[in-house]
Chains A and B, each alone.
Chain A
Amino acid sequence: MSLTLTPPDKMADKQSTDQWFASAPLTESSVDLPDWYQQIQASSWEQFCENGGPTRLDQNWRFADLKKVRLSGLLPAPEVDSASSVERALRNRLEAFAAHFVFVNNRLVHSETGSLPEGVICLPINEALAKHSDLVQSYFLKEEGCLGGSKFRQIHAAASLSGVFVHVPRGVICEDPILVNHFVGGDSSTIFPHTLIVADDNTSVSVMDTFQSIQENEETYAIGNVDLHANNGANLQYVAFEDASDTGAKHVQLNSSKAGRDSSIKSAFVNLGAAWVRNESINHMADSGADCQIYSANLANGIQEYDQRTLQVHEAQHTTSDLLFKNALYDNARTIFSGLIQVLPGSHHTDSYQTCRNLLGSKAAEANAMPGLEIDADQVKCSHGSTSGQISDEEIFYLQARGITAEDARRIISLGFLNETVSRLDCDNLKEFLFSRIERKFASLA
């Protein structure tokens, strides 16, 4: 497999284009996609074919294992029997939800409405493109990206999408989370999950995407994009829960957040599964009072690799952001964290924090961290840092002195270490759900 893309030759060009643009599920449904969207698809495909992929010289790919990055030979995920996936999704979901969608190999196979308030648009992205073309257009793929994943953004933009569009109209509070499951199966199968959330003025909404494999040991790909827009005074929460097979699944997710005046966006990556994950997260504090909180809890074992790159851009005065990423690593696992805080000229009175902590559970595990800071304003409070270490003997002693075995003590402390990020999210049910999943993975390591 070549490391960078081999552009399709002229003969095969048309065929490849069809394969990605008009592939299922679009050909199976009779959705009329708007012209502006089809133009984006076409131009993105051209860019994808012309531009080079990630290279070792690119700072945004420093420490990354480029052997794991693949951009050719991907296949659109085929239609498969989805019954068992749907059954799994329903069995493991949160009790209370606003709406629930299940996508299997890029196709919507189940949707259900729970406590979704009136007026909220919550639709599969293709249906939203057809029914709310203008609204979607004003928010669709506005983030150009600068963290290395442009090649993935281009193929994502060219391909048929799965995932949901959510628009919460002014003043509406959506109490329970919106749940979306993405399953993928089949060797080289690729899905393109897209999540676009627009929280209008003084609203509240929470969305969780869960990524899973139909079965183990298949080399599958998910190339996803998530854009979060919080308008004035909105509260938006988003969680990406990666729970796919750790023996084959690969996942690229490009996130962007744009927080408007006095709004707050919490976004979290919880990575337990997949063999390789690349998360990029760009966070714009675009107007005064804007706040972004970016969290990640990663439990990596075996030969799992989690590669995360973040940017916190303060574009206005009186804005705040806080990033806390935590990695617990075992066996030969690797993590990479690269984060940058940028305080743009004139963005005075900014508070910005960035912390990456690594708990090393084995000698062979490897945690790389590259925190960074660029300040171009006054009256700014910023801190950034990273630490790596093992559980302290004093902590273990304290738990042991209460009768807990050393082995259990290690597990409880590690679990707490990761839980510190999850505990900062909203919605108790959601936190308990994530906590129990992390706990379950820890139990499986013992």
Chain B
Amino acid sequence: MSNSLKIENLHASVEDTEILKGLSLEIPKGEVHAIMGPNGSGKSTLSKVIAGHEDYAVSGGTVHMDGEDLLALEIDERSRAGFFLAFQYPHEIPGVSNANFLRAARQARLPKGEEIDAVAFYKEMYAKMDELGMDRKFTARSVNDGFSGGEKKRNEILQMMMLDPKYAILDETDSGLDIDALKIVAQGVNSMRSPERGFLVITHYQRLLDYIVPDVVHVMHDGKIVKTGGKDLALELEEKGYDWVTEELAVA
């Protein structure tokens, strides 16, 4: 059994327009990979397809998580199997408190009939909220309802910490964050880096990668990975712009 999140020759389309055109990528456990790419290259589509969003039709290829066929699972089954997506635009759920939402997500991971230990749950949640600099009042507030951009992203990281996934994709978690919020979010992610976990960080800007230093950087263009390198590739991209990669492709 392979210890990785392995995407092979993935094709996916939305409303008959093909967006992923044979994408392959492997994130071994313990590594942090970054995907960079211009707008419209299909980065967010990749995250939605792996999470199981029904607007996207997979027309070919496979996604395996530690050998398990992820595409064969329902959306919620993928999450319970250990996959996590930190959304670029987290949805607002009016009237559902953060605490109840997280509790329901944790409860869903327990065998039927088994009840969550509420005291331990709150203790754990408060400790993680402290780590992310989140106010206690936040537990009673409705999920993402009226949250600032920074609060929404912190909330995504809190959920990730509470759900303890095997693999996580962070979809443009840096967008809409000021530098202080970015540092806190990065700190949260870094605290979760471990040999038992793999990360895929999707970003448009190199700035995030100063704080979450990747092991591998991929460049995505037109639905495919077109270049892969070490963390220096991100700096090179920042300096030369995405045109550099596409021009290089045209020459090749």
Contact = CB atoms under 8 A, between A and B. Distances in A.
Given A395-B91, A397-B75, A403-B76, A415 B96 contact: yes
A402 B101 CA distance: 9
A417 B105 contact: no
B54 interface: yes
A416 interface: yes
Contact of B79 (A395, A403, A412, A420): A403
A149 B106 CA distance: 49
A217 to B, nearest CB: 33
Interface string A409-428: 10011011111100100000
A405 B73 CA distance: 12
A412 B104 contact: yes
A3 B113 CA distance: 50
Contact of B105 (A395, A402, A406, A420): A402
A402 B96 contact: no
A408 interface: yes
Interface string B50-90: 01111000000000000000000011101110000101001
Interface string B8-52: 000000000000000000000000000000000000000000011
B79 A400 contact: yes
Main secondary structure of the interface of A (DSSP, over half): helix
B104 A401 contact: no
A419 B93 CA distance: 11
Nearest to A428: B140
A344 interface: no
A398 interface: yes
Interface in A362-413: 393-395, 397-406, 408-409, 412-413
B94 A401 contact: no
Interface in B98-123: 100-101, 104-105, 108-109
Given A400-B75, A402-B79, A403-B108, A393 B94 contact: no
B75 A401 contact: yes
Contacts of B105: 399, 402-404
Contacts of B173: none
B95 interface: yes
Contacts of A394: 91
Contacts of B51: 397, 401
A409 B108 CA distance: 11
Indicate the size class of the contact surface on chain B: 20 to 34
Interface in A38-91: none
Contacts of A405: 76, 108
B54 A397 contact: yes
A416 B95 contact: yes
A416 B96 contact: yes
A82 B108 CA distance: 42
Given A395-B91, A398-B87, A403-B108, A419 B79 contact: no
Contact of A420 (B52, B90, B94, B100): B94
A418 B93 CA distance: 12
A409 B163 CA distance: 17
Contacts of B203: none
B4 interface: no
A408 B85 CA distance: 19
A54 B142 CA distance: 42
Nearest to B96: A416
A400 B81 CA distance: 12
Give the residue among B78, B93, B95, B142 with the most A Cβ atoms within 10 A: B95
B95 A419 contact: yes
Contacts of B159: 402
Contacts of B78: 401
Given A393-B54, A397-B53, A416-B142, A404 B104 contact: yes
Given A401-B85, A403-B76, A408 B96 contact: no
B38 to A, nearest CB: 25
B163 A402 contact: yes
A409 B104 CA distance: 9
Given A397-B54, A401-B85, A402-B79, A412 B108 contact: no
A47 B87 CA distance: 64
A400 B93 contact: no
A419 to B, nearest CB: 4
A415 B53 contact: no
A418 B95 CA distance: 7
B79 A413 contact: no
Give the residue among B105, B109, B159 with the most A Cβ atoms within 10 A: B105
A404 B93 contact: no
B172 to A, nearest CB: 16
Nearest to B100: A412
Contacts of A416: 93-96, 142
Contact of B104 (A393, A397, A408, A423): A408
Contacts of A412: 93, 96, 100-101, 104
Per CB-CB distance, the 8 closest pairs between chain A and chain B, nearest first, are A416-B95, A416-B96, A403-B79, A420-B95, A398-B91, A400-B75, A402-B105, A419-B95
10 contacts: A393-B54, A397-B54, A398-B90, A401-B52, A401-B76, A403-B105, A404-B104, A415-B95, A416-B94, A416-B96
Given A397-B51, A398-B87, A417-B95, 14 more contacts: A398-B93, A399-B101, A401-B51, A401-B52, A401-B85, A402-B101, A402-B108, A403-B80, A405-B76, A408-B104, A412-B100, A413-B93, A415-B96, A416-B93
